[in-house]
Amino acid sequence: MPYENLDIHLGRTIKLDVESLTAKIVDARRGGYCYEMNSLFAHVLEQCGFSLTRHLGRVRLGDPVNPRPATHMVLHVADCAVDVGFGSATPLAPVPLGGSVTVGGWTWSTDRVVSPEGEDVWAMRCNDALLYTWSDERRHPVDYVTPNHFSSTHPMSVFVVNATVQRSLPDVQRTLAGLELIERFPDGRIDQRTIPLSEYAPTLRELGLDLPPPDLAALSALLGT
């Protein structure tokens, strides 16, 4: 299931109730961003009998010092951090709290740190990159309504600025932001190029997303302007 925010750019409201998430991600074979992916996964885990806690974190990737709003959803299950919604760097397995897990060429790890805001928090890393931090405070499904609204509607939100599809794989982390295709490899190599509009639909399919023709036409029109 790819990480994607295309419904925002198609003018649709991002809904977090289980029925809407199931219809989108399971029935329509779409993806979503962290609130959608992790909310649905949390429901599945709870239906399977797992005990979990929900948390909110601050994304640090790209700027580990200056605080950004606490807008990332992460789960704790059986002394592990579980996250199926962090874009191209999504952990591909549960990450032990205070430990690490390696899948392919990537190693995800967590440790306790003091945040730039002076808080004692958990930190998630992928290889040497700090992805995000989060506090121990338990959150509930209703607590994601406000950050979801900000993330999907505010003009300063990165999700509003870029139509993005991402996929985390054992050998490469792929991001399609608009028409910019970025591929990151475990050895640190980064390949980046602008694809022509004619390659947009095939690239989406490579990332696991086969949109219906009306949606594809609407996005192509936006990207072609």
Which one of 7, 72, 76, 80 is the catalytic residue? Answer: 72
**Residue 83 known to be catalytic:** yes
Q: Is 149 marked active-site?
A: no
DSSP state of 27: I
CA pair distance 52, 43, nearest whole angstrom: 10
Catalytic residue among 7, 9, 34, 80: 34
172, two tokens: 């490469």
CB 58 within 8 A of CB 134: yes
Query: Of the listed 7, 55, 83, 126, which one is catalytic?
Result: 83
Q: Clarify whether 7 is annotated catalytic.
A: no
Q: Which amino acid is at 167?
A: R
Distances (CA, A) of 207 to 2, 172, 200: 7, 12, 11
Q: How many residues does the chain have?
A: 225
Nearest to 32 by CA among 5, 61, 68: 5
> So which residues are the catalytic ones?
34, 72, 83
